[in-house]
Amino acid sequence: MPAGGTHTRGPVRLRPLAGLLTALLVAQSGTRISAIAIPWFVLVTTGSATQTGLVAFCEMGPYVAIKAFAGPLVDRVGPRRVSWVADVVSAAAASLIPLLHAEGVLSFGTLLALVAVIGAVRSPGDLAKEVMIPEAAERGRVPLERATGLEGVVERLSGTVGPAAGGALVGLVGPMAGLGVNAACFALGSLVVAVALPRGMGCPQGHTAEEGGGDGGTETGYWHSFRQGLAFLRAEPLLLTLCAMIGVTNLLDAACAAVFVPVWAKESGHGPAAIGLVWAAFSIAAAVGSLVAAAVAHRLPRRPVFFLGWLVTGAPRFLVLASGAPLWVVAVVLGIGGLGGGFINPIIGAVTYERIPPEMVGRVRGIAQALAWVGIPLGGLLGGAAVAGVGLGPVLVAAGAVYFLTTHLAGLRPEWREMDAHRGKGRAAPARPAAPADATHVR
């Protein structure tokens, strides 16, 4: 493969990209099912909202913390192997919950431990699948925006189908059935990765992980690799600004999903059905937006599309909830927001993959995503405290204002002019041989 380019020789192979997207869809749908089944199980068996929130924190806390440190492992061992092993371990941990419950030996502490294991191994597994997206796109000669757009479609579909399936399963046959399906999804995902993805997938320059290809052919220690990834990210103002901006918006999004919308549904009298309606409108429209982005985003100027997407998906969502508008108006505004939001992640993915050398994608993306996700476990806690302190309306207006300022004041920074700098050049060229451990890595 030419450095920084795309595959120009050999047949077009769409099987790796199709297999990878299938594995993502299956695994993420299973995760969405468990996100309904586990909290509902805890709520109906303990009656404690505090313990329900603790279970959610025990999954997302390890997920975010480990993602920061999983990158060197993914780069060194190889993303295909990491993805396969992570899905197998997740399937085993998820299947233990209904099995131990059936035997009457599932304590709350054991449940927390198993949920923490699932979150911990999901983190490198998800990262490994993401790392393989650029190579799968190159093998199929698919533009990066199209591949990341399809990845966005998969994410939005799993966010729509998973909760619907999870709610139906929990309602009809109970939460343990949902956890059984979650385990089956992880097992199926590992099988798809093993069958559809060629060996050595994701290892740069055609080397296998055992040959040292995960580090440009140079053997380095874990912490050396981690420092390389951190130094690279520090030397990339555009990527750092993206991480900071998304970190704030993710915190507000988490607060909106966990607290603001449920409290709005209760106080407005619309009830729990309204929660499903408005998020279904958002998710379906976001899937459509991602699909359109997959088709046309590679022809559009990135910067205006990116910030227009933030404009319609951010502040209006909070302000319409605060306005007391009818339910159908709220659903329409969130639907429009989802449509605009569908264009954001494909652009972020393309910019990221273009700027990071292939052998460093795991460690750099792992650190970057951890920075961007660090507020998610805290979103519900901070949102709940704010609503309890000053009420829902003022908090929604303040959150909308912060969202708008974060996404648009940041856009005035000069590094955003670099969004199209590497466009059309494929992935970044492989990095030069590693510098001494304490040196700053500069491309």
The angle formed by the CA atoms of residues 25, 250 and 254, to the nearest 5 degrees, is 80
Angle value at C-alpha 19, between 14 and 24, nearest 5 degrees: 130
Q: CATH topology of 12-205 equal to that of 227-416?
A: yes
Q: Are 200 and 98 in contact (CB under 8 A)?
A: no
Q: Where exactly are the structural domains of the chain?
A: 12-205, 227-416
Helix spans in 297-391 (H): 302-313, 315-322, 327-341, 344-355, 361-373, 376-390
Residue 226 CB neighbour total at 10 angstroms: 20
Name the superfamily (CATH) of residues 227-416.
MFS general substrate transporter like domains (1.20.1250.20)
Of 254, 261, 92, 61, nearest to 187 (Cα)? 92
| pLDDT at residue 427, as a whole number | 55
Report pLDDT for 438: 35
pLDDT score at 178: 81
Pick the CATH number of 12-205 from 1.20.1250.20, 3.30.1360.170, 1.10.490.10, 3.40.50.300: 1.20.1250.20
CA–CA distance, 318 with 334 (Å, rounded to integer): 9
Per-residue model confidence (pLDDT) at position 2: 36
> Residue 55 in contact with residue 108, Cβ under 8 Å?
no
Residues of the chain with pLDDT under 70: 1-12, 43, 48-50, 52-53, 163-164, 167, 200, 202-220, 272, 420-443
162: CB partners within 8 A, 6+ apart: 28, 29, 30, 31, 32, 33, 35
- Asked if residue 359 lies in contact with residue 302, where contact means CB atoms within 8 angstroms, the answer is no
The whole-angstrom separation of Cα 131 and Cα 214 is: 12
pLDDT at position 155 is 80
Contact 19, 196 (CB under 8 A): yes
Residue range 190-247, pLDDT digits in tens: 899 888 888 767 665 444 444 444 444 444 677 888 888 888 988 888 888 888 899 9
Q: Which pLDDT belongs to residue 11?
A: 53
Q: What is the pLDDT of residues 51-74, one digit of tens each?
A: 766 777 788 788 888 887 888 888
| Beta-carbon contacts of residue 277 (< 8 Å; ≥ 6 apart) | 327, 331
